[in-house]
Amino acid sequence: MALFGAIEAGGTKFVCAVGTGPEDLRARMVFPTSTPGETIRQVVEFLGEAARHEPLAAVGIASFGPVDVKPDSPRFGYITSTPKAGWQNVDLAGEIRRALDLPVAFDTDVNAAALGERRWGAAQGLQTFVYLTVGPGIGGGALVAGRLMHGVLHPEMGHMRISHNRQADPFPGVCPFHGDCWEGLASGPAIAARWGCKGECLPIDHPAWPLEAHYLALGVTNLVCVLAPQRIILGGGVMRRSGLFRLIRHKTLELLNNYIQVGEIIERVDEYVVPAQLGDNAGVLGAIALALDATKAEPERQKT
Ligand code: ZN
């Protein structure tokens, strides 16, 4: 089994690991995101040292964005217009490829996490599904007919516009670009700004949660209508609130209002809107899945 390097590149931290899958994640290292030069140097040092013990077949990068993921673009592998200071127009994939002299697979953190969930987690056996993370922001990745969705860009699901009744909820939203887009209304920072305290300190019977479930269900309903996914997988810190899945499923069915008559949704919604399974390792496992797919390696066999 070939060994891979994995990089989860986040706006606040980078997580690096080497391994072949969830049962085999060897050295793992986390460090805060500083300047591009310093951060990339740390990544290269860590993976270079790992490769001296056992050669790596490829490196996968699951990156915050927006990023350029068009393989024929001269700026493929760049972080482009991110609001993260100092990280605009950084050739992340190119610098790592040149420094390690290894093939590099590159995609958004959420597209990578979707691949990881298909290989090892909640989307095994599916061809068309959506992976969402609800935390410091809202991000979504999707596979359609077995392929990651790419067009002129990667999807930016967190910035879809959803209906917002300002009489019922006058909160203007936190997105610096749109105010009350999906992320602006329903991310972790939106909950904290609206209620003056983080989600963790709001009990499940607090009005914050039916409102949160309403907004999340609006986005989920839009995704059902646009992509007809076989499943919708939700991860991220906000989704750890117990009881939230139940509210979202209920509100999604209410919003669809029996228009879409498929058993997978109306009879088995508990298996349709489901939690992510890869937890804190979603990023690095997604990066390994990217590298595996890029090198056309066989999927890891489950150990018995
Ligand atoms: Zn936005």
Residue reference for tokens 């059902």: 224
The span from the CA of 109 to the CA of 239, in Å, is 17
- Residue 184 CA to ligand 1 center (angstroms) comes to 6
| Residues 295, 2 contacting (CB under 8 angstroms) | yes
Condensed to tens digits (0 to 9), the pLDDT of residues 235-291 reads 999 999 989 999 999 999 999 999 999 999 999 999 999 999 998 899 999 999 999
- Residue 45 CA to ligand 1 center (angstroms) comes to 35
- Residue 92 CA to ligand 1 center (angstroms) comes to 24
Sheet with 147-148, edge to edge strand ranges: 147-148, 138-144, 129-134, 232-235, 273-275
Kindly report whether the global pTM for this prediction surpasses the value 0.85. yes
- Residue 200 CA to ligand 1 center (angstroms) comes to 23
- Residue 219 CA to ligand 1 center (angstroms) comes to 13
The span from the CA of 287 to the CA of 282, in Å, is 8
pLDDT category at 82 given cuts 50, 70, 90 is confident
Domain at 122-276: CATH architecture: 2-Layer Sandwich (3.30)
- Residue 285 CA to ligand 1 center (angstroms) comes to 27
- Residue 79 CA to ligand 1 center (angstroms) comes to 18
Chain region(s) in the chain for CATH 3.30.420.40: 4-108+282-295, 122-276
CB atoms within 10 A of CB 86: 12
Reply yes or no on domain 4-108+282-295 having CATH 3.30.420.40.
Answer: yes
The span from the CA of 268 to the CA of 209, in Å, is 23
Phi and psi torsions of 271, nearest 5°: -100, 0
- Residue 265 CA to ligand 1 center (angstroms) comes to 28
The span from the CA of 264 to the CA of 301, in Å, is 28
The span from the CA of 98 to the CA of 104, in Å, is 10
Condensed to tens digits (0 to 9), the pLDDT of residues 32-68 reads 999 999 999 999 999 999 999 999 999 999 999 899 9
